[in-house]
Amino acid sequence: MKCISAAALGVVLLLAQSPALAPAQQSTTPAPGTQQQPGTQQQPAPDQTAPEAGGPAGDNGAIAIPKKKEKDEPAPPPPPEPTVKNPPGMQPFSLHIDVPVVTVDVGVLLEKTHQFVPNLKQENFRVYEDGKPQEIASFQQVKAPITAVLLVEFASTSYYFVYDMRNAAFNFAEQLRPDDYIAVMTYDMHTNILTDFTQDKRVVMNALNSLTIPTWKETNMFDALYQTLDRLTRVEGRKYIILIGSGRDTFSKITLDKTFAKIKATPNVTIFTISTGGFVRAMTEGRGGMGAQIRDMDYLQADNEMNTFARMTGGMHFEPRFQGELPEDFAAINESIRNQYVLTYTPTNTKQDGTYRKLRVELVDNEGHPLRMQDEKHKPLKYDIIARDGYKAKQQVE
């Protein structure tokens, strides 16, 4: 056996202890079947363990497999809700509060020109329900397309009435806009739907052009208006009825009182009425005997009913005598229905008793006095406040 000098042994020990050339010393056991020469030190095996972040442990080691993350343990279930037991003999009890909200559409038009008055503020409006002031919760000015039913009288009563009806209906159709929804209905002894709601102006015109020869002489206006209101209850949003006719009713099953009750019970519907036959009525008024006087009284009553329909719902009534008045009348209708102020409030009377509540809307200035308007020449301007005169409260279900 050869002897290793002390100097050579010192070199071997330095090489073994140098951290830059060899990994940290570990206690290793020789593999079976191998012999370790005396005087030499066993070289430790390279570290093959994977680091926490993955990747190789050394330049010459094997590729490390990333360490698997431990699965997150599921969160423990929440504790059960405590059960509350009623005292003996007490039945289960729940409290439900239904807070009603009333929406009022208000149009402000100049009396002379029928122009809409813009730029009014919430502070300019006062709303009264059954004479009691209400606090306005929300306020906005809207300009939106319309959803309307054109309800026209088409009966074989007189050529002049049919002629006026057609002119009025065509004037209304001419002012329609592409985003408006319009349906056309006629009435004599029966109520007929010429076209359902459509945005196609040509369909409306074709429906009106089909009105050539009337069949029945009866004018069942109450039945037609009642059925129209009943159908509109299934249509969402604000709706309008443009009623064009003589206003007379001859053979309806529905009475006037029931018609008024239906108008009061139908929300979000505004009725505009136009009386026909104004020219021929003016030419024949006061002429003839007792029969002519009765006829004149019938037409006066018809005008009053048409005006009442409009006033109850916040609409307007027109009695044109000449065809040249129609464009101005329908311009006023368009100003009213396309430009409105929408007010909402929670009534102080929270009873759900199904009663009819009277509404009144006023305009005031900053000091609470009645609002006064004037033109550029400082001349006073009169204006009309268009709003429905009331609404029917909900009926509590027992």
Catalogue all structural domains in the chain, each as residue range(s) with its CATH number: 98-143+341-398 (2.60.40), 144-338 (3.40.50.410)
pLDDT of residue 142: 84
- Give the residues across from 139 on adjacent strands: 343
Inter-CA distances, 310 with 80, 122, 265, 392, Å: 61, 25, 15, 17
> For residues 390 and 91, which has the higher predicted lDDT (pLDDT)?
390
- Distance between CA atoms of residues 148 and 73, nearest Å: 63
CA 344 to chain centre: 14
- Residue indicated by tokens 């010429």: 194
Residue 181 clears pLDDT 70, i.e. is over it? yes
- Distance between CA atoms of residues 188 and 232, nearest Å: 20
pLDDT of residue 32: 47
The helix (run of H) or strand (run of E) holding residue 328 is helix 326-338
Give 15's pLDDT tier (boundaries 50, 70, 90).
very low
What mean pLDDT comes out for the span 59-63? 49
